[in-house]
Amino acid sequence: MRGIEDRKLLKQNKVQMDGAEALDSTFQGIVDNVDIQIRTVVLVKNFCTFDFIHVVIPKKAEDKDEASFDHFLASFKTR
């Protein structure tokens, strides 16, 4: 998250992912004078840390982008 100006946490939830608890956070900020939105999901399981990051420019983002990221997260397995 370094280098992101005016960073604000929009929402944060604990979610279940592959049988373990993960932290799902959404931030907004500015990089190179461009508004961005970042969603991070952090999963710690089996002594490993998995970081998933989805970055969009809100004015150009489409709902299907978020749905695709959700689909990917739901399909992730550590086995």
Q: Which domains does the chain have, with CATH numbers?
A: 5-75 (3.40.1000.10)
pLDDT at 76: 93
Q: Across-strand partners of 11?
A: 26
Residue 69 φ/ψ, nearest 5 degrees = -65, -45
Alpha carbon distance 15, 27 (integer Å):
17
Question: Residue 50 belongs to what H/E stretch?
Answer: strand 48-56
The three-class DSSP label of residue 79 is coil
pTM of the predicted model as reported, rounded to 2 decimal places = 0.85
pLDDT at 62: 67
Question: Which residues in the chain come in under a pLDDT of 50?
Answer: none
Alpha carbon distance 13, 41 (integer Å):
9
